Amino acid sequence: MSLRWRIIWVGLLVLGLGWAAVANFVPEERRESSEWIPSGMRLGLDLRGGIRMLLAPDLDEAVRLELGHLRNSLERALEDENILVGRLAVVGESTIELELASPGDRDAVRDVVEDYSVLDAEETENGWRLTLGDLQYDQVRRQAVDQSLEVLRRRINDPNTGIQESVVTRQGADRILVEIPGVSEVPDIFARTGFLELDIVLDEEPSEELLQAKYPDGLPEGTRVLVEKDEETGRVTRAYLVNKEPDITGENLSDARPVFDRNEWKVSFTWNGDGAREFGELTEKNRGKNLAIVLDGEVYSAPRIRERISRAGEISGRFSSQQAFDLAVILRAGSLPIPVNLEEERTIGPALGADSIRRGLRASAVGLVLVILFVVLYYRLAGSYAAVALTVNLMLVIGVLSVMRNFATLTLPGIAGLVLTVGMAVDANVLIFERIREELRSGKTVRAAIATGFQKARWTILDANITTLITALILYEFGTGPIQGFAVTLAIGIVTSVFAALVITRMLFMIYPGDRHLEQLSI
Amino acid sequence: MPFELVRPGTQIDFLGKAKVCLVISVALILIGLVSIPLRGFRLGIDFAGGTELHVSFPENEAVDEGDVRAVVQGLGIAGASVIRFGGGGSNEFLIKYASEVEDEALPDVAAEPGGEGEAATVEAADPGVEVAEAAPAAEEPVAPVESELEPPAAAARAAQADEGTVPLVRQQVNQVIASLEQRIGPVELERVDFVGPKVGAELRRAGILALVVACGLILLYIAIRFSTRFAPGAVVALVHDVLVTSGLWVIFGLEFDLRVLAALLAIVGYSLNDTIIVYDRIRENMELRTRANLESVLNEAVNQTLARTLLTSATTLVAVLSLLFLGGEVIRPFALAMAIGIGVGTYSSIFVAAPTLLFLERRFGASPATARA
C-alpha cells in the first residue's frame, strides 16, 4: 500500500490505542463521569490492595454425607418393605455394607437395592457391598463445589456485606477463587444472607399487569405479588399472588439434594422437627395448590403439592436435572453444604499497593528514558526513529491492556513485564540497524541497505520474539494471579514491539530518507 | 562515521576458547549444586507453604529485629523467621512461619442463627484466649440469648464446626499483630500471604513442569525453524542458563518463590534471543560458504553478531537494572534474577551455543556442505 495510506492506518491505530492508554492518567472520577474517556487498565489485587483466597470445599466430606443420606434412604426403603437387616453401615470413604439378617431375605433386598441406580451393588456372602457409582461420585463432588460457589457468591453479593466488587469463581476442578478488592481484612462473608420462603400461591398470571388487572379494586388484604424471572434475560415470566407473611421459611430446612430416582429428577429434602410439623400441616391443607419457592423476594419455581409432605419428602414435577439441581441449591442456600477449607490467602494492604504502582511507574519511566538516550546517542537519526517506535510501543501496550480490561489485569509483575518490553523492543531495532550498518559497509546504497536490513532482520526478530512468546504462554498456563498478569503483559508487549519495529520504524524510514538519494545515513 | 561497539572485522577465536568456557560453566554449576546441602535450597512460602507477614512500624522510633523475633517466638509459633525489609533504616519486617494447621476449616456459620454467630465473632477476635469457648457455647441450645428459634439440629452442627467464625490462619495473624502492638508499638499490616501445604506442593510441581515444557517447546521450535542439528545447542545453552542462575541464587542464599520462577521462565525465552541471532548468522554463512571449515564459519558468525548480542543484552539490562534499583522490594527478586539471567544468557549465546553445535557436528554430524538450514 502506498506510504500515505500506511501512515493513515498506522496513525489511526496508534491514536486509538493511545487514547485508551492516556486515559489511564486521567483521575478516576473524571473517567467515570465522562462517556468519552475510556476506563483504563484493570488493576490487579496486588496493586489495588485486597484479598485473594483459594477455598477448597471438603469434597470427601460431601461424599461421606451423600453416602450417609443414601444409607438412611435405604434403611427407610427396607423398613417400608418390612425387611430387617443385620447391619447397614457406611464403611470407609465410599462404601455401604449391608448384612442380611436371614438369607431368605436376599431376593427381597435385591429388589430394593436395585432401585438405587446410583449405587454399584456387589453381592457378597453375607449381603451386599454398595459403592457410589463413578458418575454419581463425580456428580456429588461437582455439586458440592457448585453449591458452595453458589452460596458464597450469593453471600458475598448480598448488599448487607458492603462488598462492592468481588470475584467468586471456580478454580480448576474443585477449588473456589474469591477476590475482594479494597478490603484489607477477611470479611465475615459467612454471615447468613439470603432469605428463603415457601408461600402458597393464591393466584397467578403470566405477568404482573395481568394479575393486577384481575383485582381492579386492589389486591386482597394481606397479600402481595411476587414475580418469577427468566434467569438469562431477567424478564418477568410469571406473577404470583401470595400472602404477605411467608407461610414457611427455610430456617428449618436441614438438607435438600437433587436425586435421580426411578427415572426422574426430584429434589429430596428434610426438615428438622419443627419444620416437619409446620410443613406437614401446610401441605395437608393445600393439596393440589402450587407452592411458590421464593428466595430474596423472587420466585424461583412454583411446583404443585401432590400430597402431604412432612419430615422428609420429595418435590417432583418432571424437573430436568438442571432444574432439580437449581432447586436443591436454592433450598439449601442459607448454609454451606460442607466445610470449606482455606488453601491460599494473599492480602495486600492498599498502602503497599499504591507504593508498588508508584515505584513501578518510576522504574518504567527511568528505564524508558535511559534506553532512549542510549539508542539516540548510538544510532543518531535512526536511533531517534527507534525512540519514537519505543514510545509508541509502550503506549500501544498500555492501550491494549486498557481495551482488553476484561481479559487482562495489570499486576506488579505485569509492570515488570512492561519494563522488560521496553528493553526488548529496542532489541528488534538494534538488529535492524546493525544489519543496515553492515550492508552500508559492504557498499550498498542507502536505500538498498535500508531495504535489505529490514528484510534480513525480519525473521531473526520474529524467531526471537516467538520463542519469548512461547514462554509467556507457558507462564500464563502454569501461573497464578499476578504471574499471569506478567505473562499477559509480556505477550502483548512482544506483539506490539514487533509491530513497532517492523512497521513504525520502517514507516519512519520511508518518510525520510524514503525515495531520496542520500550519500550517507545517520545511523 | 558511526560509533561501533565492536570494530567491524573483529576476529576473536571464540570457539577456540570453548574448553575454558566449559570449565567455567561446569564449575559454576557444580558450586551451585554443592551449595545446596551447605546453604540449603531456600524455598519461599509459595513452594514450601506457610505464612508470611509484611509489617511496618512508624518511622520515628527504630525497632530492633531481635525484639520482633522475640515477640513472635514468644507466641509459641515454631520456626518463625524475622527479616528486616528494605534498607538499614527501615522499620519494615518480613515475618515468616510455617502454618501448624493442615487445613483451616471455615465453619458453617449459617447453622447458627444470626445472633449467635455474632457473639462467636466477637469472642474469636480476642486473640487466642476465648476461641475455645465459642464452641461450647454453641453446644447448649439454651445459651444463645438472641435466638430462641434455634433448632437443635443447627446447634449440633455448630458444635461440629470446630473453630470460631474467623479462619485459623487469620486468628494466628491477628495474634501476632496484637502481640506486636502490645509489646512494641503500633504496627501496620502491609501484606499477608498464606499458602497451604497442598497448594505449595502443586506450585512446586507446576513450576518444574513449566520449565521442562518451555525447554521442550523451544527445542521443537528451533528444530523447525533451523534444523534438528541446531536445536540441541540452543537447549544446552538454555539449561545452562537456568542451572547457573539457580546456582548463583543458591550460593547467595536467596529464596526461590513464584517471582523467581517467573524470571527463570522469562530468561528461558529471552536468552534464546541472542542464541537465535547467532544461529541466524551461522545459517546465512553456511549457505554462502559451503566449503569452509565449520569452526571458522561458526567463529565468523559469532564475531559478526557480537555487537548485536552485546547491545541487545545491554539495553534490556539497562531496563531491568532500572527495575532493580527503583522498582521496590516486592519486585526486587524478580529483577535480580532477570539481570543475572540476561548476563548468563549472553555469555551462553557466545560461548556455549556455538561450541555445542560444533561438538555435536564433529561427533555425529555430516560435513558442513550438507548442513541445511
Q: Do residue B105 and residue A273 have CB atoms under 8 angstroms apart?
A: no
Placement of cell 513442569 in the chain? B209
Confidence (pLDDT) at A376: 92
Higher pLDDT, residue A275 or B200: B200
Task: Say how many C-beta atoms besides its own lie within 10 A of residue A125's C-beta.
Answer: 7
Q: What is the pTM of this model?
A: 0.72
Q: List the single residue in B with minimal CA-CA distance to A332.
A: B110
* Element (DSSP H or E) covering residue A490: helix A481-499
CA distance B203 to B196: 11
Buried/exposed code over A301-314 (b: 16+ C-beta within 10 A; e: otherwise): bbbebeeebbebbb
Of A328-337, A415-424, A430-439, A444-453, minimum mean pLDDT range: A328-337
Percent with pLDDT over 90 in chain B: 4
- d(Cα A271, Cα A77) in Å, to the nearest integer? 19
Higher pLDDT, B148 or A423: A423
Residue A176 has pLDDT above 80, yes or no: yes
Reported as a pLDDT band with limits 50, 70 and 90, residue A233 is: low
Asked if residue A358 has pLDDT above 60, the reply is yes
- Structure confidence at residue B373 as a pLDDT band (50, 70, 90): very low
pLDDT tens digits, B245-279: 988 888 888 888 888 988 988 888 888 888 888 88
Place of cell 404470583: A240
What's the length of chain A? 523
Question: SS3 breakdown of chain A: % helix, strand, coil, rounded to 5?
Answer: 55, 25, 25
A136-145, A294-303, B100-109, B363-372: the lowest-pLDDT one: B100-109
Alpha-carbon gap, residue A303 to A238, rounded angstroms: 13
CA distances from A184 to A187, A328, A346, A432 (A): 9, 34, 10, 49
DSSP state of A337: S
For residue A11, pLDDT over 50 is answered with: yes
Distance of alpha carbon A482 from its chain centroid, rounded?
A: 16
The pLDDT of residue A296 is 55
Q: Give the pLDDT band of residue A498 (cuts 50, 70, 90).
A: very high
Query: What is residue B58's predicted lDDT score, i.e. its pLDDT?
Result: 84
Q: Residue A493: is its pLDDT beyond 90?
A: yes
Phi, psi dihedrals of residue A400, rounded to the nearest 5°: -60, -45
pLDDT band at A384 (very low <50, low <70, confident <90, very high): very high
Which chain B residues touch A480 with a CB distance below 8 Å?
Answer: 203, 258
Separation between Cα atoms, residue B136 and residue B119, nearest integer Å: 13
* Inter-chain touch B304–A482, beta carbons under 8 Å: no
> Cβ(A439)–Cβ(A457) under 8 Å?
no
pLDDT value of residue A130: 85
Could you tell me which residues come within 8 angstroms of residue B52 by beta carbon, excluding any fewer than 6 positions away? B44, B45, B94, B95, B96, B191, B192, B193, B194
Distances (CA, A) of A495 to A163, A239, B225, B353: 37, 54, 19, 26
B196 in Cβ contact with B99 (< 8 Å): yes
Confidence check: pLDDT of A340 > 80: no
**Secondary structure class of A262 (helix, strand, coil):** coil
Residue B278 and residue B300: Cα distance in Å, rounded? Answer: 10
Report how far residue A344's alpha carbon sits from residue A45's, in angstroms, rounded to the nearest whole number. Answer: 14
Instruction: Give the closest-approach CA distance of B279 to chain A in angstroms.
Output: 9
Confidence of residue B1 (pLDDT cuts 50, 70, 90): low
pLDDT at residue A3, as a whole number: 81
**C-beta atoms of B312 and A430 within 8 A:** yes
Q: Which amino acid is at B359?
A: F
Asked, as a colleague might, if the bond just before A513 is cis with ω within 30 of 0, I would say: yes
Confidence of residue B291 (pLDDT cuts 50, 70, 90): low
**Cell, residue A423:** 528493553
Average of per-residue pLDDT across A338-354 = 80
> Residue A276: how many CA atoms within 13 Å on its side-chain side?
13
**Contact yes or no for A423 and B103 at CB 8 A:** no
SS3 state of residue A174: coil
Sheet holding A127-132, edge to edge: A85-91, A95-100, A127-132, A119-123
Decide if A485 contacts B334 (C-beta within 8 A): no
Which one of B312, B317, B349 would you mutate to disrupt binding with A, by most A Cβ within 10 Å of its Cβ? B312
pLDDT over 70 for what percent of chain B? 76
Nearest Cα neighbor of B348 from B281, B251, B266, B272 is B272
d(CA B173, CA B165): 15
- The C-alpha cell of B45 is what? 512460602
- At A189, the amino acid letter reads I
B278 touches chain A (CB under 8 A): no
pLDDT over threshold 70, residue A145: yes
Predicted pLDDT of residue B268: 84
CA distance B237 to B275: 8
Tell me the mean pLDDT in the region A350-357.
Answer: 84
Burial class (CB in 10 A: 0-12, 13-18, 19+), A13: middle
Q: Which of A105-119, A347-361, B90-104, B131-145 has the lowest mean pLDDT?
A: B131-145
Pairing outcome for strands B92-97 and B81-85:
antiparallel
The whole-number pLDDT of residue B100 equals 56
pLDDT at A299: 76
Question: What's the pLDDT band for A327 if we cut at 50, 70, 90?
Answer: low
CB contact under 8 A, A360 and B217: no
Is the ipTM here above 0.85?
no
Please tell me the distance from the alpha carbon of residue A137 to that of residue B26, in angstroms, as a whole number: 52
Burial of B59 (0-12, 13-18, 19+ CB in 10 A): exposed
Q: Which residue of B has its CA nearest to A365?
A: B322
CA-CA-CA-CA torsion sign (A426, A428, A433, A438): positive
Strand A175-181 versus strand A253-261 pairing type: unpaired
Q: Which residue of B has its CA nearest to A467?
A: B269
Contact B114 A348 (CB under 8 A): no
Cα A115–A118–A120 angle (5° rounding)? Answer: 90
Residue type, A454: F
CA distance B365 to chain A (A): 24
Tell whether B154 lies on the interface with A, counting CB pairs under 8 A. Answer: yes
**Per-residue pLDDT tens for A53-73?**
888 887 887 787 778 777 777
What angle, rounded to 10 degrees, do the helices at B197-225 and A446-478 form?
150
Q: Does B133 touch chain A (CB under 8 A)?
A: no
Q: What is the band of A496 on the pLDDT scale with cuts at 50, 70, 90?
A: very high
pLDDT digit string (tens) for A392-415?
999 999 999 988 888 888 888 888
What's the pLDDT at B283? 85
Tell me which residue in B117, B154, B316 faces A191 most closely, judged by beta carbons: B117
**pLDDT class of A40 with cuts at 50, 70, 90:** confident
Nearest alpha-carbon partner for A66 in A124, A135, A154: A135
Report the residue of chain B nearest A346, measured CA to CA.
Answer: B193
Residue B137: band (very low, low, confident or very high) from pLDDT cuts 50, 70, 90: very low
> Are B32 and B251 in contact, with CB atoms under 8 Å apart?
yes
With CA atoms as reference, report the closest residue to A153 among A339, A337, A348, A333. Answer: A333
pLDDT of residue A494: 92
Q: Which of A137-151, A191-205, B310-324 has the lowest mean pLDDT?
A: A191-205
Question: A519 pLDDT band (50/70/90 cuts)?
Answer: confident
The three cell numbers locating residue A514: 524514503
* Residues of chain A neighbouring B91 (CB-CB closer than 8 A): none
Whether the predicted pLDDT of A246 surpasses 70? no
The secondary structure of chain B, three-state, reads: CCCCCCCCCCCCCCHHHHHHHHHHHHHHHHHHHHHHHHHCCCECHHHHCEEEEEEECCCCCCCCHHHHHHHHHHCCCCCCEEEEECCCCCCEEEEEECCCCCCEEECCHHHCCHHHHHHHHHHHHCCCCCHHHHHHHHHCCCCCCCCCCCCHHHHHHHHHCCCCCCCHHHHHHHHHHHHHHHHCCCCEEEEEEEECHHHHHHHHHHHHHHHHHHHHHHHHHHHHHCCCCCHHHHHHHHHHHHHHHHHHHHHCCCCECHHHHHHHHHHHHHHHHHHHHHHHHHHHHHHHCCCCCHHHHHHHHHHHHHHHHHHHHHHHHHHHHHHHHHCCCCCHHHHHHHHHHHHHHHHHHHHHHHHHHHHHHHHHCCCHHHCCC
- pLDDT bracket for residue B339 (50, 70, 90): very high
Q: What mean pLDDT do residues A254-266 have?
A: 77
Residue B13 has pLDDT above 80, yes or no: no
Secondary structure of residue A243 in the 3-state scheme: strand
